[in-house]
Structure 1
């Protein structure tokens, strides 16, 4: 059995989920990132996030890089529903952090920005796996 290492994106997704938001791994021309709709009431799926204002979060060019190989800080950027860049929300830690600490910092800054922008919002319900 092959063990797949935890990625930088896995860490940030977990931090965001703990704060009540879901993000999805996306990619374009070899660059991978996390994407999250700005509106907490938007459909909870990656495809829907592209057609509404959304946040793209990057760890360099590879959000799916193994966390043990973390060397580029997370950044987060607001994009409009047309995909055009609007603003930088988080431009990375001013000091180098390990992967877990960097993910936690990025998540806190993004959620704080969202709360300031949108007001307080309830967390999404936790996902449950069901089997037939």
Structure 2
């Protein structure tokens, strides 16, 4: 009997990192391009259709977020879009240094959640400001 183990995709790794930071992300696609999507509002319903109809972040690793992680070649990037899907801004433009899929997912998740926290005004005070 042969057992096959399905390898995680680039999107699986980033989704796991975002989930660890309290964010739901979903695999989406359009015209053969796949990406991850998360709603800007962390209280938005945890489903893909809800994330598409509110301000959201699209995250790309090249054109295939569903590519096996072992084939990771292009860094993640993240882009803010309005409720109608219109591009607003790039919030993370990828790592300048080549990273493996796991390290790139960690970096992108941290950058996206930090940017969203700042954007939403949920930035905790810096420790130096509260230790007086």
Instruction: Verify same fold: TM over 0.5.
Output: yes
Offset of 1:2 from its aligned partner?
A: 3.5
Stretches of structure 2 lacking an aligned partner (at least 5 in a row): 124-132
Offset of 1:41 from its aligned partner?
A: 1.1
Task: Give the corresponding residue for 1:77.
Answer: 79
Stretches of structure 1 lacking an aligned partner (at least 5 in a row): 122-132
Q: What TM-score, normalized to structure 1?
A: 0.89
- Give the Cα–Cα distance (whole angstroms) in 1 for the partners of residues 106 and 96 of structure 2: 14
Task: Give the corresponding residue for 1:94.
Answer: 96
Kindly provide the CA deviation profile for residues 16-39 of structure 1, in whole angstroms up to 9, marking residues without a partner as x: 000011100000011000000000
Task: Give the corresponding residue for 1:51.
Answer: 53
Task: Give the corresponding residue for 1:115.
Answer: 117
Task: Give the corresponding residue for 1:103.
Answer: 105
Query: How many residues are aligned here?
Result: 121
Offset of 1:3 from its aligned partner?
A: 2.3
Answer with 1 or 2: which has the greater Rg.
Answer: 2
Offset of 1:4 from its aligned partner?
A: 1.6
Offset of 1:120 from its aligned partner?
A: 2.5
Supply the RMSD in Å over aligned alpha carbons. Answer: 1.1
Moved over 2 A (4+): none
- Give the Cα–Cα distance (whole angstroms) in 2 for the partners of residues 9 and 68 of structure 1: 12
